[in-house]
């Protein structure tokens, strides 16, 4: 399995778990997983040779999403079950 398929595979897993969390009516965790899926997809698109003209904005978007997911994950860990 090459790196491209692995990135999209993780994105599909995160997307599936995010949809499952939406069905369970847990919007906070759904947001966490859906943003993670978008981060994996944008990270893979940033390394695509066809989108080399958009590499810088995609990398910036990827890092913003990664930091956002990290902060949201810490928030969920701290305040989810209070």
- Residue 17 has a pLDDT of 96
The packing angle between helices 55-79 and 27-46, to 10°, is: 160
Instruction: Name the average pLDDT for the chain.
Output: 91
Which of 48, 25, 29 lies closest to 37, judged by CA? Answer: 29
Mean pLDDT along residues 29-41: 95
Handedness of CA 10, 11, 17, 18 (dihedral sign): positive
Give 37-76 pLDDT, tens digit per residue. 999 999 999 988 898 999 999 999 999 999 999 999 999 9
């Amino acid at each position: 399995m090459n790196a491209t398929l692995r990135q999209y595979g993780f994105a599909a897993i995160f997307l599936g778990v995010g949809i499952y969390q939406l069905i369970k009516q847990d919007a906070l965790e759904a947001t966490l997983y859906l943003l993670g899926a978008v981060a994996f997809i944008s990270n893979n698109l940033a390394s695509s040779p066809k989108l080399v003209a958009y590499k810088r904005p995609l990398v910036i978007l990827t890092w913003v999403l990664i930091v956002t997911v990290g902060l949201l994950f810490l928030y969920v860990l701290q305040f989810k079950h209070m």
